[in-house]
């Protein structure tokens, strides 16, 4: 994937740097911090590889990939404000460095810039796809807010959250590849399905990593979700499989937010006891398999191999 998209990705980075510029110095300063702080650029890579899969020959894929990354970056800025996060990928978050106020406003700026870029691309269909994704993401984030601290969240309700907050941008990032190449509705739907299911798998693995990754590799503070009272699938499973006293533990720590130093270790013990992390990875594998089959209608190519490789990469991160 990295090899396939390296040249295009350099062009995307160039567009990003030029378009986040502003006479108001705080904007490129803050945006640059996030853009340069080691993000994987997974979503724009998906746009580039999807365009390649569809033998797209033009130049719009670079602008659209930059749009996708702008929308993602704006979302991250607002997310970190909403979650009051202090670390992202091992670096202090923008809100920790410049305050919530700047993060909210620079997020708005990047979001607007994304739409300006789409206007340049000149396709109302793409604008429709990406503006719908953006609205869905905001809905999903609000939904997540409402499930926070609710230990009674079901697996279905949790899936609703990530199908809204994470999957739409993955799906849109891939779908626009087919749209810009003028491919059939069938191929458009196939790439949408690939992206949506990959996004779900990605989020589930991310939820596992929040309880299992070493801080150095993930660049995230372990236990963030736990401290913020976020109900993710590992917790949903452990809660439902647990004893009354275990449920009381989850209720005290996540619903009431009454946490003590040893609680994270106890949470990890309970997650292990019920196989909640391993089973969340199994669920992720299920969505990864759907994503894989969605691409079956495309003939073999380097781009297809790269997109299939992303599924494996996303799931391997969990081990």
Taking the least distance from each CB to a copy of itself, the nearer of 132 and 282 is 132
What's the CA dihedral at 303, 305, 307, 313 to 10 degrees? -140
Largest separation between any pair of C-alpha atoms in the chain: 60
* Residue 100 Cβ vs a copy of itself, minimum distance, rounded to whole Å: 8
**Applying CB under 8 A, which of residues 89, 91, 139, 278 lies at the interface with a copy of itself?**
139
Question: Should residue 112 be labelled a site residue for a copy of itself when binding is judged by CB under 8 A?
Answer: yes
Round to whole Å and give the CA distance between 307 and 74: 25
Among 217, 232, 266, CA closest to 246: 266
Q: Nearest distance from residue 111's CB to a copy of itself, in Å? A: 7
Q: Which of positions 55-84 make contact with a copy of itself (CB under 8 A)?
A: 74-75, 78, 81-82
Q: What is the crossing angle of helices 155-165 and 233-241, to 10°?
A: 180
CB of residue 164 vs a copy of itself: minimum separation in angstroms?
8
135 makes contact with a copy of itself (CB under 8 A):
yes
The answer to whether the Cα torsion of 56, 203, 185, 297 is positive or negative is positive
Q: Which is nearer to a copy of itself, 115 or 313 (CB)?
A: 115
Segment interacting with a copy of itself, rule: CB under 8 A, options 59-67, 138-146, 209-217, 296-304? 138-146
Query: Measuring CA to CA, how many Å separate 68 from each of 64, 112, 123, 147, 177?
Result: 6, 12, 15, 27, 12
Q: With binding defined as CB under 8 A, does residue 45 bind a copy of itself?
A: no
Q: Is 131 in the site for a copy of itself (CB under 8 A)?
A: yes
Pick 38 or 128: Cβ nearer a copy of itself: 128
In whole angstroms, give the CA distance from residue 139 to residue 142. Answer: 5
Q: Which of residues 4-33 bind a copy of itself (CB under 8 A)?
A: 22-24, 26-27
Q: Which stretch binds a copy of itself (CB under 8 A): 2-10, 32-40, 140-148, 308-316?
A: 140-148
Angle at 223 between CA 99 and CA 72, to 5 degrees: 50
Q: Which of 69, 141, 207, 225 binds a copy of itself (CB under 8 A)?
A: 141
> What is the Cα–Cα distance from 76 to 94, expressed in whole angstroms?
10
Are 82 and 230 spatial neighbours (Cβ–Cβ below 8 Å)?
A: no
Q: Are 253 and 226 in contact, with CB atoms under 8 Å apart?
A: yes
Residues that bind a copy of itself (CB under 8 A): 22-24, 26-27, 74-75, 78, 81-82, 100-102, 104-109, 111-113, 115-116, 118-119, 122, 124, 127-128, 131-132, 134-135, 137-139, 141-143, 145-146
């Amino acid at each position: 994937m990295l090899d396939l998209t390296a040249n295009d990705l350099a062009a995307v980075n160039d567009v990003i740097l030029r378009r986040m510029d502003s006479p108001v110095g705080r904007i490129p300063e803050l945006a640059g911090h996030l853009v340069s702080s080691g993000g994987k650029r997974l979503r724009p890579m998906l746009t580039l590889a999807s365009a390649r899969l569809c033998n797209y020959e033009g130049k719009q894929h670079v602008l659209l990939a930059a749009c996708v990354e702008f929308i993602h970056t704006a979302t991250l800025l607002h997310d970190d404000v909403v979650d009051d996060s202090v670390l992202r990928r091992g670096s202090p978050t923008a809100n920790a460095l410049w305050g919530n106020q700047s993060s909210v406003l620079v997020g708005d700026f990047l979001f607007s810039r994304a739409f300006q870029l789409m206007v340049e691309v000149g396709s109302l269909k793409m604008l429709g796809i990406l503006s719908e994704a953006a609205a869905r993401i905001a809905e999903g984030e609000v939904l997540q807010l409402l499930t926070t601290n609710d230990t009674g969240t079901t697996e279905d309700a949790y899936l609703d959250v990530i199908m809204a907050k994470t999957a739409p941008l993955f799906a849109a990032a891939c779908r626009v590849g087919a749209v810009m190449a003028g491919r059939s509705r069938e191929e458009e739907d196939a790439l949408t399905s690939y992206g949506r299911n990959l996004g779900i798998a990605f989020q589930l693995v991310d939820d596992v990593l929040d309880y299992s990754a070493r801080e150095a590799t993930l660049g995230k503070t372990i236990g963030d979700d736990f401290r913020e009272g976020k109900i993710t699938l590992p917790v949903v499973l452990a809660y439902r499989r647990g004893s009354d006293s275990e449920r009381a533990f989850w209720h005290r720590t996540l619903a009431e937010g009454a946490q003590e130093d040893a609680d994270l270790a106890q949470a990890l013990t309970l997650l292990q006891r019920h196989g909640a992390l391993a089973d969340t990875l199994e669920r992720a594998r299920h969505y990864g398999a759907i994503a894989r089959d969605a691409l079956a209608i495309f003939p073999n190519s380097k781009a297809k191999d790269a997109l299939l490789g992303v599924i494996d990469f996303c799931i391997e991160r969990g081990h």
